[in-house]
Amino acid sequence: MMKNKITIYTDGACSGNPGKGGWGVVLVFSDTGEESFISGYEKLTTNNKMELKAAIEGLKSIKDTKSLIEIYTDSQYVKNGINLWINKWKINGWKTANKKEVANKKLWIELDLLTQHHKISWFWVKGHSGNYYNEIADKLAVEAMNN
**E strand or H helix at 114, and its extent?**
helix 105-115
Q: Is 31 a catalytic residue?
A: no
Let me know if 34 is a catalytic residue.
no
Identified catalytic residue from 11, 24, 58, 118: 11
C-alpha triplet 134, 136, 141: angle, nearest 5°: 95
Helix (H) or strand (E) holding 119: strand 119-124
Tell me, yes or no, if 112 is annotated catalytic: no
Catalytic pick among 34, 35, 64, 128: 128
Clarify whether 16 is annotated catalytic.
no
Q: Which of 21, 57, 74, 118 is catalytic?
A: 74
Query: Is residue 70 within 8 Å of residue 7, measured between CB atoms?
Result: yes
**Residue 64 annotated to the active site:** no
State the DSSP H helix or E strand holding residue 5, giving kind and residue range, or none if neither.
Answer: strand 5-16
Please tell me which residue in 22, 51, 57, 81 is annotated as part of the active site: 51
Query: What residues are annotated to the active site?
Result: 11-12, 51, 74, 128, 138
